[in-house]
Copies of this chain bind each other. A is one copy, B any other.
């Protein structure tokens, strides 16, 4: 396996297959097979998403995969944005279809004709639904497992509201949901309001969460779009207000994908392999019995007993009883990113103890078997703290304040510079830096948002005072600038 710091791409591409997350040998480029271990991690992420959706009273739906070309074409920006990268179904059996079908690249144009039927009165609002489905993009760029693929495991929440303000409250709630999820995944991020030229096709504005990967490029991992009544007008989503007038609804969406798994692999992994956050690890701990001749039975019994104790306490625990050496097993589970290894040999059995070893720093602790549940809880917590603090450290060390576009060009990571707000200067900053303007930090873009919505801010934008990195005009608005995937 390549070394992460020397050749990130090689390291990443090898690890995703070596750790049995996916199989890239499927005969269509950019469409991987989810193997059980990888799918199990993704399902754990989905499980938290389902929980958050239930907590915030979103309802789960499932819309058809295909969208008639006639519906797809109703919103002009969507065609411009996605038309060049959708798959087309043109034949059923041996017949040419009368109306070609788009394989969904996202579901606005599938859902909103139905929203138009579902939304009648103000009592039907807010409407909050979501689905977790595959979406499809005919990628022409280089593909990379989980990060840029042609079949994407996708989460999309869609809402409709009576007013612009209520829709904006939804964006606020979405950002809070994201912050809770990111905490579970131990992922640092910056939140930016995207510049107008980079918003989602059809959106009024777009907010995004960007993670930072080892090459110090950022990866968009979550997006929140306020659509205003743009789509409502295209799809005729109107409600009867209390004074009996018919008013277009305001809409939002919240999107995430398997990129979350890509970010987890990239941010936390090391040269030995994955390091999984305890919240999504298929096994939070693996018990490796250390067998010596004649004492196998006692050790195996103790291992199973210990496993049952930990399973009963609610942990996901696995006993590795394969006929392999302990050393082989240690390496194997390190590669698969299991947070804690529990060693158990004849001496430990005698002393009624076990040895817990943290995946991140190899730190060992001897724990009485009777206290194993408490010991594992503590070890997992300190391991997760380790992941979080290392990841935030890397991010904060690679964010820098700069005064000019030329200076921003030299920054590896995220540069923060002033921006006068004009498209022209924004484009100039991009041209000079050969980087992307991620956008305006969330706390500056939305001073009305409550503090907790911002998550852990790397560089709070509030209170910024400087000059536009392109034209030099005085401004209190900074932007994040970075190389992106």
A134: CB under 8 A from chain B?
A: yes
Tell me which residues across on chain B come within 8 A of A93, comparing CB atoms: 83-86, 138, 140
Among A24-32, A168-176, A333-341, A456-464, the one that faces the other chain is A24-32
A449: CB under 8 A from chain B?
A: no
In the complex, residue of chain B having the shortest beta-carbon distance to the beta carbon of A101: B28
- Annotate A96-133 by CB proximity to B: 1 below 8 A, 0 otherwise: 00000101000000100110011000000000010000
A320: CB under 8 A from chain B?
A: no
Among A8-16, A33-41, A217-225, the one that faces the other chain is A33-41
A90: CB under 8 A from chain B?
A: yes
A62: CB under 8 A from chain B?
A: yes
Tell me which residues across on chain B come within 8 A of A117, comparing CB atoms: 23, 25
- Annotate A318-348 by CB proximity to B: 1 below 8 A, 0 otherwise: 0000000000000000000000000000000
Distance of A180 from chain B, by nearest CB (Å): 22
User: Bound complex: CA of A59 vs CA of B90, how far in Å?
Assistant: 34
Tell me which residues across on chain B come within 8 A of A136, comparing CB atoms: 65
Tell me which residues across on chain B come within 8 A of A92, comparing CB atoms: 85-88, 138
**Contact of B87 with A62 in the complex, beta carbons under 8 Å:** no
User: Bound complex: CA of A34 vs CA of B60, how far in Å?
Assistant: 9
Question: Interface size bucket, A side?
Answer: 35 or more
Contact of A61 among B36, B134, B140, B151 (CB under 8 A): B36
**Contact of B91 with A27 in the complex, beta carbons under 8 Å:** no
Within A32-77, the residues touching B (CB, 8 Å) are: 32-36, 39-40, 43, 59-66, 68, 70-71
A264: CB under 8 A from chain B?
A: no
Distance of A195 from chain B, by nearest CB (Å): 26
Distance of A228 from chain B, by nearest CB (Å): 25
A245: CB under 8 A from chain B?
A: no
Interface of A is mostly: mixed
Distance of A469 from chain B, by nearest CB (Å): 35
- Annotate A129-163 by CB proximity to B: 1 below 8 A, 0 otherwise: 10000101010100000000001010000000000
A244: CB under 8 A from chain B?
A: no
**Contact of B91 with A88 in the complex, beta carbons under 8 Å:** yes
In the complex, residue of chain B having the shortest beta-carbon distance to the beta carbon of A117: B25
User: Bound complex: CA of A87 vs CA of B26, how far in Å?
Assistant: 20
**Contact of B85 with A88 in the complex, beta carbons under 8 Å:** no
Tell me which residues across on chain B come within 8 A of A247, comparing CB atoms: none
A471: CB under 8 A from chain B?
A: no
**Contact of B89 with A103 in the complex, beta carbons under 8 Å:** yes
Tell me which residues across on chain B come within 8 A of A361, comparing CB atoms: none
**Contact of A129 with B61 in the complex, beta carbons under 8 Å:** no
Tell me which residues across on chain B come within 8 A of A59, comparing CB atoms: 36
Tell me which residues across on chain B come within 8 A of A63, comparing CB atoms: 26, 33-34
A94: CB under 8 A from chain B?
A: yes
User: Bound complex: CA of A253 vs CA of B279, how far in Å?
Assistant: 33
**Contact of A23 with B64 in the complex, beta carbons under 8 Å:** no
**Contact of B36 with A71 in the complex, beta carbons under 8 Å:** no
In the complex, residue of chain B having the shortest beta-carbon distance to the beta carbon of A90: B90
**Contact of B64 with A39 in the complex, beta carbons under 8 Å:** no
User: Bound complex: CA of A36 vs CA of B130, how far in Å?
Assistant: 10
Tell me which residues across on chain B come within 8 A of A32, comparing CB atoms: 64
User: Bound complex: CA of A64 vs CA of B31, how far in Å?
Assistant: 6
| Supplied contacts A28-B101, A39-B60, 19 more A-B pairs, CB within 8 Å | A23-B117, A23-B118, A26-B64, A27-B68, A31-B66, A33-B62, A33-B63, A36-B59, A36-B60, A62-B153, A65-B134, A65-B151, A83-B93, A86-B92, A87-B92, A88-B89, A88-B90, A89-B89, A103-B103
Chain A residues within 8 Å of B, Cβ to Cβ: 23, 25-28, 31-36, 39-40, 43, 59-66, 68, 70-71, 83-95, 101, 103, 110, 113-114, 117-118, 129, 134, 136, 138, 140, 151, 153
Could you show 14 A-B contacts with beta carbons less than 8 Å apart?
A: A26-B114, A27-B113, A33-B62, A34-B62, A36-B59, A36-B60, A39-B61, A66-B87, A86-B92, A86-B93, A87-B89, A87-B92, A88-B91, A88-B92
Closest 3 CB pairs of A and B: A92-B138, A36-B59, A31-B64
